[in-house]
A and B are shown apart, each in its own frame.
Chain A
Amino acid sequence: MPAGPHRPSEECRRIFALLSEYLDAELPLETCDEIEAHLSDCPPCVEFLESLRRTVELCRSFEPGEMPGPLSEEVRAELRQLYEKALRGRPSGGAP
């Protein structure tokens, strides 16, 4: 059994460093297998991974606390001018 009775094993520590890549499916298959083998026998690592997974889920549904103020008509008109100039400058673009 990989985990010692009283504290996280070296393997727990090694895996701890890889958990985000594991969640993002960015690890080589072989490393994934090693992690899954460890998880199958280490409830604390499973519990921790779950807390990290839920954290990522919450980050992905992040809601901004502040929004920018309204855009002034003056700025909007300047941006539109730049936009129209850029369209004329594009190889495939024509005037809007």
Chain B
Amino acid sequence: MRMPEPDQSVLAARDTLIASLQSIVAEEGVIWSENQLKAYESDGLTAYRQLPLVVVLPEDTRQVSEILKICSEHGAKVVPRGAGTSLSGGALPLADGVLLALGKFNRILEIDYENRCAVVQPGVSNLAISEAVADQGFYYAPDPSSQIVCSIGGNVAENSGGVHCLKYGVTTNNILGLEIVLMSGEIIRLGGKHLDPEGYDLMGVMTGSEGLLGVITEVTVRILKRPELARAVLVGFPELEDGGQFVADLIGAGIIPAGMEMMDKPATHAAEEYCQAGYPLDAEALVIVELDGHSTEVDHLIGQVEEIAHKCGASSLRTSQSEEERLNFWSGRKAAFSSIGRISPDYFCMDGTIPRRSLPEVLKRMAQMSDRFGLRVANVFHAGDGNLHPLILYDANQPGELERAEEFGAEILKLCVEVGGVLTGEHGVGVEKRDLMGVMFSEADLEQQQRLKCAFDPEGSLNPGKVFPTLHRCAELGRMHVHRGQVPFPDIERF
């Protein structure tokens, strides 16, 4: 992976930078010895590693602001990091960059039940928010599988989703306010406890900005009352097409479940071996449909779901009769990535989204690619919204396998775009998909996105080398190419 050339003058001035950072945060808040830096050399995309120049761990907004000012003065790049679970290398360090780790910045500041929101610091884990409001029967809806560890700041930066986002939306639909710090050190508040922030929707563009626009130092999230009841149906199908038809028919019947997940046979087998969730091993497609809400509604819809499943040729069907059984249905799906980790030394988790109806075609062509590359693939799929996670199994110790796996992954993502989908549904572009951006966007599209970055970070110091395949200077992006003296449009209606 090609990263921007390290700036020699920044490398040379490392000691001065460390001393300046030590004047801002407590001694132990600056990490610079090589063996301690090791812990930060990669995020969830472990194929790529790089020691950062130095790690700094602020605990409040003022410190973040001062750190960014100092870094700007030193011309040092900054990579924000939450819990480091990104699967796209978004938090991959830079040799000449300060890694700004927000793990210590982890207090819940306020829970406001009257306005159904909570104000939290960015290092708070996703699950900790739900736990903090659980005694009043509330929760924070987006639930990425990594929710025990991933930080809310990282969730905002990646616009993370979860298995329940079909009904409840992803991060961007569940936050009300942000505090951010720009590379200049300037602190800016967006939104608050009210709906729809004033002026341009900068909260909307901060969400999913992968640490390139500003550092998130506070998040106001919406909290919801837990539904009275949740039940899940576990359905096996003899063919992948039947599973696809089932999903289509449910939506056609006007049913939007809380979550709807599909796994193919290899993923089902791996999960079953790991969790003994009682999955049917003969099924080519396994679908979990969860319904939640008022008990009358859930029980009513469960009947409809069962009926549609039978009509679509289900080979097995179980409906959860208890909370324990429901959680058991999910245990295999939630551990899908870890279970693949047990059957293969390494794996890449891809994240394209496709129109649902293209699923059979995409799976067929992926199987052909799997043969061609000589690498196995297992699929888990957020079936309700078309977000596909093919897991490519490889062994980095076999010469050439990593490169083959990368190539296989790139082909899958190109296929997703070809059928009308996108490169990434929830894991972000990071470094992993950076060089594929041209498959989806024209040069003009990408330049317009980078002009937005210029408004936030004109020197391009925040997380450079991520998301954009080519880096342009803001002065160059600002230049206008004007063609004067055209005859104005003879064919256009005017009055």
Q: Do A and B come from one complex?
A: no
Instruction: Report B's interface with A, CB cutoff 8 A.
Output: none
